[in-house]
Amino acid sequence: MKTMQRAASTVFGLLAVLGATASLEARAAADVAKGGDVFAEECAECHSVREGKNKKGPSMFGVVGRKAATVPDASYSDALKGSGLTWTPDKLDAYLAAPKKFVPGGKMKYDGLADATERASLLAYLATLR
């Protein structure tokens, strides 16, 4: 039994390393211009990139490093307001991959962006919005 537990632990450890490696590879392949295209295709209907210009969702201007649910005049769920999140690249990546899983009870009507390279490019683009 202990041998099985050690084997399972090793497998899970290897999967975690592979996942981290895949994320690093995606970040290395990040392309700001592609990220702008991803934003236009996936996000622009509900979010703007202009400071102080909210749409259905808050402006993404300055989102990287910003405390969640703090854009004036934007509407947020109680779940996001109470999350205590600060939008670091890692947290944005996890949120964009599966918003409803990352913030249960959130009200963003988006299922997520599965492609890690596209997310990395989107994050690279969002980081330029300062």
The fourth-level CATH superfamily of domain 2-127 is: Cytochrome c-like domain (1.10.760.10)
Q: 0.85 exceeded by the pTM?
A: no
Residue of 41, 38, 36, 73 whose CA lies nearest to 55: 73
Structure tokens belonging to residue 54: 């909210």
Chain segment 20-75, per-residue pLDDT in tens: 444 555 565 689 999 999 999 999 999 999 999 999 999 999 999 999 999 999 99
Whole-number pLDDT of residue 28:
59
Residue of 58, 60, 21, 14 whose CA lies nearest to 39: 60
Residue 100, pLDDT > 70, answer yes
Chain segment 73-88, per-residue pLDDT in tens: 999 999 999 999 999 9
Domain boundaries, the chain: 2-127
Structure tokens belonging to residue 75: 């509407």
